[in-house]
Amino acid sequence: MKLKSISAVELEEMDSRKRINLINAIVGFKCVNLIGTVDDLDNENLAVFSSIVHLGSSPALIGFIARPDSVERHTLTNLVRSGVYTINHINTAIFEKAHQTSARYDAKVSEFDATDLKSEYKMDFKAPFVKESNIQIAMKFKQKIDIELNGTSLIIGEVVAIHYPEDCLCTDGFIDIEKAETITCSGLDSYHSTNRLSRLSYAKPDKALESLKIIYVD
């Protein structure tokens, strides 16, 4: 496959929308999730994010990037004030509705209602989960780190609870998100189902890799 190149100068001179699409796509496939929050008046908010990353397992921390607050950012405002939010995997059945949550609705308009997704509450947790999501994570807001380079912020939360299909948990703790029909995305608007190639053994200098068997919890 023959490769071509784009320089930093060419990037700077590129049409802004074209540059946005390019830079969002070159990082490769990303996890894409719906974040659910409520405001001080219990108005529900739901927004799609593709910047969610694992930060650590003990404590269990997950982060995501919030864009500059030059305009209203309902998700950021709500989770900072309430201290809680949910992360919900997007699956093959709801990806179009999930994408629609990226529209700029008024703060008083619930994206749940606008997209015909259903909210649900569990274990007295204040933030709403997406009922149609097969993997749901309850999060407690821990830290906001401002990034001066571009005005974005890294939002760090701690996992409070995980809800998942009973037949997707493996004996070694691995959750089979493919079996749960979780999808991925590339760029800003391209959604993909997945096909696992293999699970590989822990890499060591003096040991050949092995393909791991997937054994589910009974």
Please give the Cα distance from 90 to 72 (Å, whole number): 24
User: Looking at the domain that runs over 27-192, which CATH code has it been given?
Assistant: 2.30.110.10
CA separation for the pair 192, 28 (Å, rounded):
12
What's residue 71's pLDDT?
57
Q: Name the token pair of 22.
A: 């390019």
Please tell me the predicted confidence (pLDDT) of residue 69.
65
Amino acid identity of 163? H
User: Could you read off the pLDDT of 24-61 as tens digits, one per residue?
Assistant: 999 999 999 999 999 999 999 999 999 999 999 999 99
How are beta strands 119-120 and 84-89 bridged, if at all?
Answer: unpaired
Domain ranges of the chain: 27-192
Coil, helix or strand at residue 156:
strand
Q: 31: Cβ–Cβ under 8 A, 6 or more apart, which residues? A: 50, 52, 184, 185
Which portions of the chain are predicted below pLDDT 50?
A: none
How is 103-155 classified by DSSP, letter by letter? S---TTS-HHHHHT--EE--TT-SSPEETT-SSEEEEEEEEEEEETTTTEEEE
Q: List the structure tokens of 3.
A: 């490769």
Sign of CA dihedral 14, 18, 21, 27: negative
pLDDT at residue 108 in the model: 87
Q: What is the pLDDT of residue 73?
A: 77
Query: How high is the pLDDT of residue 70?
Result: 58
Tokens of 169: 């948990």
